[in-house]
Structure 1
Amino acid sequence: MEPAQKERTPFADIDGLPASMSAMVLDALTEMGRHTEIRRVRRVAFDMLRPRPGQRLLDAGSGSGDVARRLAAEVSPTGEVIALDHSASITAAAVARHDGSNVRYVTGDVGAMDLPSDSVDGVWCERVLQHVDSADRSIGELIRVTRPGGRICLIDTDWSSLGFDGMPAGLGEVVMAHVRGHFTPKQHDMGRTLRRRLVANGLSGITATPVTCVFTTPESAAVVLPMVNPRVPEETWATPPGLRDEWLACVDAAGASGTFLAVLTIWVVAGTVPG
């Protein structure tokens, strides 16, 4: 993923983290990819991207490479996937997990890619733009490297949609006011802006689908929502003394009573590059 705003989340500059925290982020990426709700989001995105045999695709912000390897299966036997990520450590981990499919792993900046123009048939970009300095510049780069008639599929979170139930009224809002920019990016509404950004760039056949992820246990939510994950180190919280423990105690109580609920909307937006 690209460098982020001054207010950084752990996912924005993975190589700048201590080794233990970097390993935790990689584990989090892997766990998220296996989560039933994230897999549901990705099924929608696959339907929108419509990968076909023989295509050359770009996974921009490829993380551990799980999606890139799945895309490679769709474009095989003659197609190729370029898995690009800003983090050298995450790219190395992705290479270590390679399954022999036709994936080429590279490090690079989504906002300034070292790829020729019109060089790929389609782009997958999942939960990256919320972390970058300029989403429009990055989208411009994704369009530049995609041939006319190619598809671009953007997946991103609308963190302002995050809501909880089962906890004391107002406590979640207090916690979120402190953790925004630490656990959630400053660009908290990125998901809902994707359609507008593709319209502004002249893409055609744009489809925009909101997928609301529902978490009915703290354990399920903790995979995607760091503010309910007790394994996240206390020093990464930006809350006043005692608020983190009060919040997590309420989360545990709601889980024990069966009343816990968290919801978060992730948008899947795709369009065709003009030409």
Structure 2
Amino acid sequence: MEPAQKDRTPFSDIDGLSAQMSEIVLDALTEMGRHPEIQRVRRTAFDMLGPAAGERLLDAGSGSGEVARLLAARVGPAGEVLAVDHSSAITAAAVSRHDGSAVSYLTGDAAALAMPDDHVDGVWCERVLQHVDDADATIRELVRVTRPGGRICLVDTDWGSLAFDGMPSGLGEVVLAHVRGHFTPRQHDMGRTLRRRLVGAGLRNVVAAPVTCLFTSPESAAVVLPMVNPRVPEETWATPPGLRDEWLACVDAAGQSGTFLAVLTIWVVAGTKA
């Protein structure tokens, strides 16, 4: 994902992780990209960005490159996609998965891009801004490299919207209080602020869509929500002794009874550079 972070999530500094944790994070990114709810979010974002044949697009915080390759299919051989990620390990993984489409994989900082002004026709930036130190400065940089009339599409999570049912509510609140800033970024409300930030950056025709992701089983939720995933190593939990096991037992019981439910809103916001 992205650069200079103020939180302590595993996505904050992938290159600083152990080989085991780096592999876990990469697998998590891949699995999330395949999840039907994340794909639903991305369909909304594709509609808002409207990639067209022959365009040069930037995927800022491109991860393993699956979105960049989808964008490349839209812009065709006459177009180009610049896939930029802060992690050299993730960039190397993206290169290893390259499908021959018009994607260039680069290691770089979305807040300080090595690109001239007005260089791209559009920008995709997915679940990156929740991690950076200064989201507005990063947005200004994305605007800088976009040509006048170009479209910028931001996708980010509103972790404050995360809610569960089927487990004791008090227990869930305690767990979330402990894992915030660890499993979830400290900038937990980023998604809901995107519209304001794009308006403030001077973009026009700003549109916003909240996409509420619904998970009706622990297995489905665990792909996106690490706090219900028993495969996340115990040592990475920032909870008092016993709380993790108590919580996961409740999650499993809710799954067994069919009463488990989790919801999380991810916002898609796009605007046009004046």
Please state which band the TM-score falls in when normalised by the shorter chain: over 0.9
Scaled by the length of structure 2, the TM-score of the pair is: 0.99
Residue 10 of structure 2 aligns with an amino acid whose one-letter code is P
Q: Answer yes or no: is 1:2 the counterpart of 2:3.
A: yes
Shift of 1:3: 2.0
Residue 239 of structure 1 aligns with an amino acid whose one-letter code is T
In structure 1, the residue matched to 2:44 is: 44
Shift of 1:153: 0.1
* Identity over aligned pairs, percent: 78
Residue 29 of structure 1 aligns with an amino acid whose one-letter code is L
Q: Answer yes or no: is 1:141 the counterpart of 2:157.
A: no
**What is the CA deviation profile of residues 187-241 of structure 1, one whole-angstrom value per residue up to 9, with x for unaligned ones?**
0000000000000011111000000000000000000000000000111111000
The alignment of Structure 1 onto Structure 2 pairs a total of residues equal to 273
Residue 63 of structure 2 aligns with an amino acid whose one-letter code is G
Contact between 2:77 and 2:101, CA under 8 Å: does it hold in 1?
no
In structure 2, the residue matched to 1:76 is: 76
Shift of 1:268: 0.0
2-structure distance, mates of 1:124, 1:11:
18
Correspondence 1:210-249 to 2 at 5 A: 210-249=210-249
Correspondence 1:161-200 to 2 at 5 A: 161-200=161-200
In structure 2, the residue matched to 1:253 is: 253
Residue 173 of structure 1 aligns with an amino acid whose one-letter code is E
**What is the CA deviation profile of residues 64-117 of structure 1, one whole-angstrom value per residue up to 9, with x for unaligned ones?**
000000000000020000000000000000000000000000000011111111
Residue 244 of structure 1 aligns with an amino acid whose one-letter code is R
In structure 2, the residue matched to 1:267 is: 267
Residue 123 of structure 1 aligns with an amino acid whose one-letter code is V
Q: Answer yes or no: is 1:19 the counterpart of 2:37.
A: no
Contact between 2:60 and 2:83, CA under 8 Å: does it hold in 1?
yes
Residue 176 of structure 2 aligns with an amino acid whose one-letter code is M
Residue 29 of structure 2 aligns with an amino acid whose one-letter code is L
In structure 1, the residue matched to 2:118 is: 118
2-structure distance, mates of 1:171, 1:138:
36
2-structure distance, mates of 1:136, 1:169:
35
2-structure distance, mates of 1:131, 1:196:
18
Classify the secondary structure of the residue corresponding to 1:77. Answer: coil
2-structure distance, mates of 1:173, 1:2:
29
2-structure distance, mates of 1:150, 1:39:
24
2-structure distance, mates of 1:10, 1:208:
28
In structure 2, the residue matched to 1:59 is: 59
**What is the CA deviation profile of residues 157-180 of structure 1, one whole-angstrom value per residue up to 9, with x for unaligned ones?**
000000000001211110000000
What CA RMSD, in Å, does the superposition of the two structures yield over aligned residues?
0.5
